[in-house]
A = this chain, B = another copy of it.
Amino acid sequence: MQREVSYGEAMRRKYPEPIVIAISRDSQGKYNPITLGWFMPTSHEPPMVAISVAFARHSYGAIRGSGCFVVSFPSEHMKEETLFFGTKSGRELDKLAAMKTKIQQAKMIDSVLLEDAVVNLECILKAELTTGDHAIFVGQVVAAHVNADAALRRLYTIDSHYGMSAVRPV
């Protein structure tokens, strides 16, 4: 049976929610990561993915300005940096340097891969759509990489207080 509630209350039932990290070169020239819960694939052919980024975020200008971004799926072992990348702003610091995150240059675009992530997707920005207080960025995937450890699990938000964990089927 259904009962009507506020949107905010309804969305507290969405967890666990998979997390991604988008990395783009900002106007200062540094590679800036942002943690996002709002991601989806959006085309098979060509392969495309979409992310939602708030206008207020430093990454909004970085993605628009550079025209490309990497989408990483953080691993279960990356809780600390995933929280850091989602709660600090690249306007004020170099988040990758601050966390000593291991990176490697992307192959097809001007961005970086997260070495310890489960997946890295290199994306060229193809479209932008304004929604409410966010923009949807659509990227075409031009290269894909996976962690050599096939058993490594991705990270999920498990509650509305930044709790994070891997998950497994019940």
B48 and A42 form a contact (CB under 8 A):
no
Q: How large is the interface on A (under 10, 10 to 19, 20 to 34, 35 or more residues)?
A: 35 or more
Say whether A83 faces chain B, with CB atoms less than 8 Å apart: no
Identify which of B48, B52, B134, B146 contacts A13 (C-beta below 8 A): B146
A142 to chain B, nearest CB (A): 9
User: Which residues from 73 to 116 on chain A have a C-beta closer than 8 Å to any C-beta of chain B?
Assistant: 73, 76, 104, 107, 113, 115
CA of A39 to CA of B50 in the docked complex: distance in angstroms?
Answer: 10
| Copies per assembly | 2
Q: A13-B147, A39-B40 are in contact. List 16 more A-B contacts (CB 8 A).
A: A1-B115, A1-B148, A2-B104, A2-B147, A2-B148, A4-B107, A13-B146, A18-B18, A37-B41, A38-B41, A40-B40, A44-B132, A45-B132, A129-B136, A163-B169, A167-B167
Say whether A118 faces chain B, with CB atoms less than 8 Å apart: yes
User: Which residues from 124 to 141 on chain A have a C-beta closer than 8 Å to any C-beta of chain B?
Assistant: 126-127, 129, 131-134, 136, 138, 140-141
